[in-house]
Structure 1
Amino acid sequence: MSNHNKILVLGPSWVGDMVLAQSLFKTLKQQDAKCIIDVAAPAWTLPLIERMPEVNQGIALPFKHGQFALFERIKFGKSLRAQGYTQAIILTNSFKSAILPFAANIRQRTSFLGEMRYGLINDIRSLDKVKLPRTVDRFVTLGLKANAELPKHIPNPTLISSAENAHITLQKLGKSNPTTKVLGLCPGAEYGEAKRWPAKYYAEIARESINKGWQVWLFGSGKDTAVTAEINQLTNNQCLDLGGKTNLSEAIDLMSLCDAIVSNDSGLMHVAAALDKKLVAIYGSSSPYHTPPMSSKAVIEYLGLECSPCYKRECPLNHLNCLKQIQPASVLLHLQ
């Protein structure tokens, strides 16, 4: 058996959080270059994990989102015993997420207490939300020794992309490689309407960019097809509407061809930051102080109104001023 540390990370379910988790993986490698990192997470996050060279392998969790599945988690944990993990780091706070590493007999199980997980977690870390305001801070601190101070510099996520795969995807869509600058727009946000900048504002950004000779590509999952179609319609179908037409892996590669991105606070926003793209990140009901884009090329549009951040899926005051009062003109200034 190898003497190297072999770490199993129980990863988050959200795309954006998984991107931020790469800062933890980089920190672990900085501390011990020979450590082996496996990441167990929902299958839809594996395309991200595959683009993180710090990770040895991604392990798809077979449980449905929100499903307790006690016996299935125990059985799956037991199936990992032969892997010889020396530590588990659990990035989520649910009780059920700590069952698997306990069943896997991993001797050091590190996390915050979360949902009263005494026993399941035996390396309990204190969650000081003042000292650790950002999600990325909380992830990274779990990779440090107990009571260690956060490093002054936390490494940014950096996803690997493939221009070749991007070109193959364009061919599948019946499109050729871009010969002009490309602006990517990410108008979706799975969390809810209170994180979505109005479609008509995105359309104004698109029209102005097209008039300047740019191509505009609209990114989104199958859940975003209505908003990408609306934006495209408002621009007389002059955009490349990718909503629901690509998987996450293809979207990452296509985004790598973009010169700039405008995005809501969403998983794709964090992907754009990790691709080191010029990025305008728009925040409404959420806080850029909690989940900022980890990139020196990102700028943030956030009004910080008295009512925000509320972290609600829909505006509880029925006005959505936190987003509607961010004007397209201010976003366009960042794209000049």
Structure 2
Amino acid sequence: MTRSLVIAPQWIGDAVMSEPLLARLAARGEELAVAALPWVAPVYRAMPQVREVIELPFAHGRLDWAARRRIAATLRGRFDAAYVLPNSLKAALIPWFAGIPRRVGYRGEGRYVLLNQRLPNPGGRPPMVAFYSALAGEAARGDERPRLAFEARVVNGAARDAGVEPGRYWAFAPGAEYGPAKCWPAGHYAELARRLHERDGLPVLLLGSAKEAALCRQIEAAAPAACRVMAGETSLMDAMALIAGARGLVSNDSGLMHVAAAFGLPQVAVFGSTSPEHTPPLNTRARVLWLKDELKLACMPCFERECRFGHYRCLSEVAPQRVEAALREVLPTS
């Protein structure tokens, strides 16, 4: 059996998008360990094909040369192959230091010495699932989509700790690490929460990181009867479990959007500055609202963190009523 080490990407959404690659590798008999930063490691714990998750103690953006050498020394002789998913030079250092015989990845940032099986860098912004799956060296398949799974006890435990019942609450993920040009307005989220709560009487859990807690409190203040702030109060593992147990999720283009898609949850994703052609929620129960064709804004998609014109029309003109209607479309009929 081939023992393989996967060097994980640093963002939650990208980690989710790498699952089809890992499924391919496992299906052909490779035993997988994943080396991941702590904030994405829980994603790989929801992939049954991963035998081991190795958490990397690196700060975001730092080379940490000595620490990488130390970790590589503990891995020497354990693996036959390594798949380096990020394109950075530093991501390829551990497999090289560890002397892993076959080291696969894109050429990236001048990694000719570090990798010995290199793919040419693709142009533009390719779909991320295909981008990662190509590292398996197999022909692309159009039906691939990420899949995550938790045991029922994990989902039930997270719901119990949050004081809710599985299937009897909504989840919103109103933040986005990239910036405000990805974020549907807080007032729109609040109005949608009020509409859902008035119709179904179910609470709305506002999920996200500690950085997004202030935004979630703003939404809660505008819809106090409907909302509960969970951002910054749960681990990523628990947030993922709460998503898995929710009736449905509404989000921006974000990592938690991809988590919901991988659990097959009914969901609506609001896109603004980014494009669903690049990072769509790969889920038959997903609806995407992106007003490029309707608004005919020449700037869409701009891929900027903030709107250069200051109006954020690509997001603000997506009405809460429209999001609610899209969400109702994908809910089970029974």
Task: Verify same fold: TM over 0.5.
Answer: yes
Contact 1:228 1:241 survives alignment (8 Å): yes
| 1:158 aligned residue | 147
| 1:140 aligned residue | 133
1:289: how far off? 1.0
| 1:18 aligned onto 2:11 | no
C-alpha distance after superposition, 1:102-124 (max 9, x if no partner): 11111111111111111111111
| 2:325 aligned residue | 333
1:172: how far off? 3.5
| 1:324 aligned onto 2:313 | no
Give the distance between the partners of 1:16 and 1:194, measured in 2 at CA.
17
Give the distance between the partners of 1:63 and 1:251, measured in 2 at CA.
23
| 2:260 aligned residue | 272
Number of aligned positions between the proteins: 323
Structure 2 unaligned residues grouped into runs of 5+: 329-334
1:294: how far off? 1.5
Contact 2:69 2:94 survives alignment (8 Å): yes
Which segment is superposed worse, 191-200 or 239-248?
A: 239-248
Structure 1 unaligned residues grouped into runs of 5+: none
Structure 2 SS opposite 1:236: coil
Structure 2 SS opposite 1:211: helix
Structure 2 SS opposite 1:93: coil
Aligned pairs (5 A) from 1:236-275: 236-275=224-263
| 1:90 aligned onto 2:90 | no
| 1:120 aligned residue | 114
Amino acid of the structure 2 residue aligned with 1:139: Y
Structure 1 SS opposite 2:50: coil
Amino acid of the structure 2 residue aligned with 1:165: V
Give the distance between the partners of 1:162 and 1:118, measured in 2 at CA.
42
C-alpha distance after superposition, 1:251-309 (max 9, x if no partner): 11111221111111111111111111011011111111111111111111112232122
C-alpha distance after superposition, 1:208-252 (max 9, x if no partner): 101102412211111111111111111134322212111111111
Q: Over the residues paired in the alignment, what is the CA RMSD in angstroms?
A: 1.7
C-alpha distance after superposition, 1:110-161 (max 9, x if no partner): 111111111111111023336x8211111000112xxx5312332x222112
Structure 2 SS opposite 1:110: strand
Amino acid of the structure 1 residue aligned with 2:237: S
Give the distance between the partners of 1:167 and 1:35, measured in 2 at CA.
32
Contact 2:159 2:245 survives alignment (8 Å): no
Give the distance between the partners of 1:128 and 1:190, measured in 2 at CA.
24
Give the distance between the partners of 1:18 and 1:281, measured in 2 at CA.
18
Give the distance between the partners of 2:141 and 2:264, measured in 1 at CA.
22
Name the CA shift for 1:163/1:231 in 2 (closer, same or farther; >3 Å).
Answer: farther
| 2:169 aligned residue | 182
| 1:69 aligned residue | 64
Structure 1 SS opposite 2:197: helix
Amino acid of the structure 1 residue aligned with 2:98: A
Amino acid of the structure 1 residue aligned with 2:148: L
Contact 1:281 1:300 survives alignment (8 Å): yes
Contact 1:194 1:315 survives alignment (8 Å): yes
Contact 1:49 1:55 survives alignment (8 Å): yes
Give the distance between the partners of 2:286 and 2:326, measured in 1 at CA.
10
1:166: how far off? 3.7
1:176: how far off? 4.4
C-alpha distance after superposition, 1:170-219 (max 9, x if no partner): 4444x2426x7422111011111111100000111111101102412211
Which segment is superposed worse, 132-141 or 95-104?
A: 132-141
Structure 2 SS opposite 1:311: coil
Give the distance between the partners of 1:56 and 1:166, measured in 2 at CA.
21
| 1:149 aligned residue | 139
Structure 1 SS opposite 2:233: coil
